[in-house]
Amino acid sequence: MEEVILKKISDPVMKDVTLIEGLPGVGNVGKLAVDHMIDELKPEHFLKIYSKNLPPQVLLDDDGIATLVSQNLYHYEKGGEHFVFLAGEYQGADSRGQYELAYTLLDFLNSEYGIQRIYTLGGYGLGKMLEEPRVLGAATSKEMAELMKKTGIIFSEGEPSNGIIGASGILLGLGKELFGVDGGCLMGETSGYIVDARSARNVLEALMKLTGIEVSTDALEAQSEEAEEILNNLREAAERSLESENDDLRYIG
């Protein structure tokens, strides 16, 4: 069995695409952002990616219909520019799998359509709740870095200190070094403790400024407010429970 198997569903006419990756990761920030664009923009699902570097698993929908784990490509056009969204439920299973998947994808897009630019989306986990989470950036060229800074993305020395690990890193790295394509990573600050719709909205807004893609973020907003409400309720319940404990203790003294 080949390392990676590409199964075309349709054959969109496109050239010099901008690849936008949003696979699962810290706070699921990148995945939320790209899945949201797919929900809203209804781009054309044109390629399925199967691989022995993904889990040996089928996923079930509500009707019990089973589908093999895959990564998927979607095509979206806006004002003559061609975007390819990379989405999925899983990243490559290990280091080698990450390389195989990223390399095969880049090689395919590059030889079939040409790649103009790569944006990878992810979360930057800080391990604490944040009042005003920022969007941090990294880029594989100075020009790309300047472009990203102009839209308000923050380049902060030494953050993240370990660089970028996984699909968001390897697509940028291989894209630059082996295919000569510039790229940037948009990292939404997040606690990393929750599926972070607020951080995803921030990343998406930065991406819209960068690419000209327009999409309502209302659903992410709503999801974020809902999550906050749940967290607040939990917090209040915890406080009440603490107070009543104190009440009980009052009678002991």
Binding site for a copy of itself (CB under 8 A): 1, 3, 5, 7, 48, 50-60, 62-70, 92-93, 95-96, 98-100, 102-104, 137-142, 145, 155-158, 160, 162-167, 169-170, 172-174, 176-178, 185
* Closer to a copy of itself by Cβ: residue 203 or 215: 203
Show the tokens assigned to 18.
């901008």
Whole-angstrom distance, CA of residue 35 vs CA of residue 89: 10
* Minimal distance, residue 155 CB to a copy of itself, in Å: 4
Q: Which is nearer to a copy of itself, 76 or 124 (CB)?
A: 124
Rounded Cα gap, residues 224 and 235, in angstroms = 16
Give SS3 for 42.
coil
In our burial notation (b when 16+ CB lie closer than 10 A, e otherwise), range 214-246 reads: ebebeebeebbeeeeeeeeeeeeeeeeeeeeee
Tokens 């394509």 — which residue? 181
3-class DSSP state for residue 81? strand
What is the smallest separation between the CB atom of 177 and a copy of itself, expressed in angstroms? Answer: 5
Provide the minimum distance between the beta carbon of 27 and a copy of itself in the complex, in angstroms, as a whole number.
19
Of the pair 94, 239, the CB lying nearest a copy of itself is at 94
- HSE value, Cβ hemisphere, 13 Å, CA-based, for 239: 6
Residue that the structure tokens 């697509």 belong to: 171
The minimum distance between CB 67 and a copy of itself, in angstroms, equals 7
Report how far residue 103's alpha carbon sits from residue 107's, in angstroms, rounded to the nearest whole number. Answer: 6
Taking the complex as a whole, the smallest distance from the CB of residue 208 to a copy of itself amounts, in Å, to 21
Alpha-carbon span 148 to 8, nearest angstrom: 33
Would you say 70 or 190 has its CB closer to a copy of itself?
Answer: 70
Residue (41 or 69) nearer to a copy of itself, CB: 69
For a copy of itself, the closer CB: 91 or 202 = 91
Residue 214 to residue 201: CA distance in whole angstroms: 13
Write down the least CB distance from residue 100 to a copy of itself, Å: 6
